[in-house]
Amino acid sequence: MRRSTFVRTAVAACSLSLLAALAPAASAQGGSQEGRHGKPAYKRVGYFTQWGVYGRDFQVKDIDTSGQAAALTHINYAFGNVSADGKCFTGNIPGEADAWADYVRPLDAENSVDGVADTSEQPLAGNFNQLRELKAKHPGLKVLISLGGWSWSTHFSDAARTPASRRAFVASCIDLYIKGNLPFDGARGGDGAAAGLFDGIDLDWEWPGSAGDTDTVHRPEDKKNFTALTHEFRTQLDAYGKSLKRPRHYELTAFVPTAPAKIDAGFEVPRIMRDFDFVNLQGYDFHVSGEKNTAQQSALRAARGDFSVDQTVRDWLRRGAPAHKLVVGMPFYGQGWTGVTGGGDGLDQSAAGPAPATWAAGYEDYEALRRLADSGTYTVHRDRRGGHAWLFDGTTLWTYDDPKVLRAKTSYIRHRGLGGAMFWSLDGDTADGELTAAVDDGLGRRH
C-alpha cells in the first residue's frame, strides 16, 4: 500500500511497494457470501486515505456523492500507526499520527454526509464521525482500520516478536479502534467514542521477513511471527465479538505482496489463510517511475519472469491460498516517465526520470490522467492480451488502468473464482466514481 510523498513532510512517505470473487457461498469467517437473488457477493474494497482530506480535498462525503459508497462492500481507513513500544496509538504528531483528521476536525453541514454540521460538544468528529454517518446511510457497508502501510510498518517486527508483545499489541489495537476508546483531545474522544465504527482490522505490514521502507525493521523470524500475530488478532477479535450482548464477527484482512521472494520470506500461506477473512493482493507498482525504462505497472498478464496480476494470483494459489479469499488490487493512479527516447509507442524505452505530476513526481491520480487522455495531446495505447493501457505523447508516458482495463480484470476475477476487487485509493477516481462503477458493473452491480 502507499502513502503519498507530500505527506512524508506533511504526513508520510510514498509507497514504492511492489492483485477476486468467488467460490460458492461461504461462512462469515471467510470468503464470499450469497448476494441478492442468490448471486455471489464479490468484495469491493476501497482505501480511504486519512491525508486526502487536505491537498486533494477528498472528504468522506465524496465517497457518497460520487456513487462509490453504493458500490463498495468495505472501506479500509489508511492508516493506523504502531509505536516504538509495539502499540496502536494516535495523537497529533507530524508524520506519525493525525488525530485531528481522524476524530477532532469539525465538519460543516456542506461537507457532512448527513448534511448536519458538527458541534463543539460531540465526542466524535472528523473522518471517523463521517464514516459512521456513511455507514448509517449505506447499511451493510463495512469499515476496517488498516494498520501500517509503507511508511508506518516500522515497528511491526518488534510488536510481533514475542507472545507477550503480540498480546499487548493486539489488545491495544482492539481497545483503540474496535472498542473505540480514543484519547481525549479537547472535547473529542473518550471511552467508547468510536465504538461500533470499525468492523475489523486490516494488516498492512510491508513486509514481514524482507525489506520495505528504509527504517522498517525486518527479521528472518518475521515469517513465523506474522503467523502467530495473525492468529492472536483472530483470537482476540473473536473473543471480544463473542463477549458482546449481540455477538458478532469482526473481520481480519491483510495487504500482501506480488513478489514470490517476499511471499516466501514472510508468509506461511496455508496457516495464515485460516485466520484471514480474505487478503488484498498487490496488483500495482509492478514497475515504478524510479526505474530507468518505461514499463507496465499493473498488467493483467505479462511475459514469464515479469510481474502481473495473473502471476500474483497463481503464486498465492500454488502456496495454498483459497481462491475465494484472494481479492485483486487495482490502481486508481498511474506511474509516469518523462524524457522517453526510442520512438514507437514509448513502452520499454529508456527515460530521463519520473514525469512531473500534481502530488509527487511519477505518480498521478486517474482523474488527472483521464483529462490527459481526453486532451488530444496523448495517445491511448493498449496491450489487449496483456490487459493494460498507457498514455504517450512522444516524450512522456503514463501507465494506468482505465475502465476498459478494469472490465478485463473483473472478467478474470469471475472466471478464476476469486474474492473481489480492491482499489488504491478512492480519492484518485473521478468525481462521478468512473473506475469504481466500472468494477461494480464488471462484477455485477450490488444494487
268 belongs to the catalytic site: no
Residue 187 CA neighbour count, 13 Å, CB half: 11
Q: Which amino acid is at 222?
A: D
pLDDT in 10s for each residue of the chain, 447 residues: 544 333 333 333 333 343 333 333 333 333 344 444 344 589 999 999 999 999 999 999 999 999 999 999 999 999 999 999 999 999 999 999 999 999 999 999 999 999 999 999 999 999 999 999 999 999 999 999 999 999 999 999 999 999 999 999 999 999 999 999 999 998 999 999 999 999 999 999 999 999 999 999 999 999 999 999 999 999 999 999 999 999 999 999 999 999 999 999 999 999 999 999 999 999 999 999 999 999 999 999 999 999 999 999 999 999 999 999 999 999 999 999 999 999 999 999 999 999 999 999 999 999 999 999 999 999 999 999 999 999 999 999 999 999 999 999 999 999 999 999 999 999 999 999 999 999 999 999 765
The pLDDT of residue 40 is 52
The pLDDT of residue 28 is 35
342 torsion bin: left (phi>0), alpha (psi -120 to 50), beta (else): left
- CA 194 to CA 196: how far, in whole Å? 6
The pLDDT of residue 308 is 98
The pLDDT of residue 20 is 33
Catalytic residue among 34, 96, 110, 206: 206
Q: How many residues does the chain have?
A: 447
Instruction: Name the burial class of residue 444, with classes exposed (0-12), middle (13-18) and buried (19+) by CB atoms within 10 angstroms of its CB.
Output: middle
The pLDDT of residue 445 is 75
CA dihedral (50, 55, 59, 64) positive or negative: negative
- Specify whether domain 6-332+402-443 bears CATH 3.40.50.300: no
What lies within 8 Å, CB to CB, of 320 at 6+ separation is 269, 270, 273
The pLDDT of residue 21 is 32
> Which pTM was predicted?
0.92
The pLDDT of residue 19 is 33
